[in-house]
Amino acid sequence: MNLSVESVPIITPRLPSVRPPAPAEPPGPDALRAHPVREGVLAMPAVFPLEHGGELRDARLAWRLVGAAGAPVVCALGGISANREVCLASDPRNGWWSEIVGPGGALDTDEYQVLGFDYLGASGDSTGPEPGAAGPTAERGVFPSISSYDQAEALAQLLDHLGLASLAAIAGGSYGGMVGLAFAERYPERVARLIVIGAPDRSHPLATAWRSVQRRIVSLAAACGQAQEGLKVARALAMTTYRSAAELAARFGGTASRDGQRFVFPVEEYLFARGCDYATRHRAESFLTLSESIDLHRVDASRVFVPTTVVAVREDQLVPLEDLRALAARLPHGRLHEISSIYGHDAFLKESYQLRGIFRAALGSPK
């Protein structure tokens, strides 16, 4: 065991406005020339066996590679709502990690190529459950359970397809960090280092409890033919676990407003707006598949020999600080950074200033 613990000074970010920020400008022709984009859909083997039984037939894996041509490749993976458009998307709203990854970012596309892919089971262009698969008798219909190891195997096949012997790093937040750990355990020779933000080697029972309730909400709504309505409610509930009590108190402490015969609270309005937005972009069936995948996640940290930087957020409700301290201690080559963030679990999406130094220390200078 080679554990090094570092604490980054507490940075209290400026509280975001309740109103959405003005949309960023899409990347212009010069940016796209400097950071060429390759993307495609990999046709996987006719039969793709799965960790928990079952198989996928004629599966597809959609991928995207962006950044300085010929530069080392870092795979960037996010939560279950992330997709292959990590940054430099034609529509800036689709670059899910644009605050962290891009030209001059904590993960700098002037120095690295960044690989992303749509998870198996998700709502993107990779293979996933069909709309309407969630029904009254099963949470996922006929679509099989997907594990973090299955996502790791898909990534290994993608590297083969792209002719990449290995990655300079995997940088993963939330579910993406889980997939990164699974890949590093199974394929240590194919990744030089790992950055894991808010991702444990196994889910905490309290986090599983919250997600189990969310899945039950979606399943009950699906039984009534209202799966997407259930998804809105489940996502609203999930948002309360992603952020910190301090942020919600600071942003939504105002008084309720009357809407007809009932009152609507500021935080309620925010949560259900986020739920509605999520339900327009994601399928209920995919949410059930990947939410379950988080709770099925188990890796043996003692077998992850890749040098790993673990980033813990003290205010993270989903992944307790103690769990990530224990993970870092079990890793043969683990290094722990503890940060504070009003954004809680979502700090991996927001804390560009705090993550910049951590990424630099973990990645070093590209070769």
72-129 pLDDT, tens digit per residue, is 999 999 999 999 999 987 776 679 999 999 999 999 999 999 999 999 999 999 999 9
Residue 16 has pLDDT above 70, yes or no: no
- Which one from 147, 174, 291, 293 is the annotated catalytic residue? 174
pLDDT of 235: 98
- Which one from 108, 345, 346, 352 is the annotated catalytic residue? 345
Per-residue model confidence as pLDDT tens digits over 128-164: 998 875 544 444 457 999 999 999 999 999 999 999 9
Whether 174 is a known active-site residue: answer yes
Per-residue model confidence as pLDDT tens digits over 331-340: 999 999 999 9
Per-residue model confidence as pLDDT tens digits over 29-78: 445 445 789 999 999 999 999 999 999 999 999 999 999 889 999 999 99
pLDDT of 93: 67
Structural domains present in the chain: 4-204+301-363 (3.40.50.1820), 207-286 (1.10.1740.110)
pTM: 0.89
Per-residue model confidence as pLDDT tens digits over 201-253: 999 999 999 999 999 999 999 999 999 999 999 999 999 999 999 999 999 99
Whether 91 is a known active-site residue: answer no
| 202 secondary structure, DSSP code | B
Q: Which two tokens stand for residue 251?
A: 């942003």
Tell me which of 67-76, 121-130, 308-317, 358-367 is least confident: 358-367
**DSSP string of 147-180?**
-HHHHHHHHHHHHHHHT-S-BSEEEEETHHHHHH
Rounded Cα distance, 326 and 73, in Å: 29
- Which one from 201, 316, 323, 346 is the annotated catalytic residue? 316
Rounded Cα distance, 112 and 143, in Å: 36
Whether 316 is a known active-site residue: answer yes
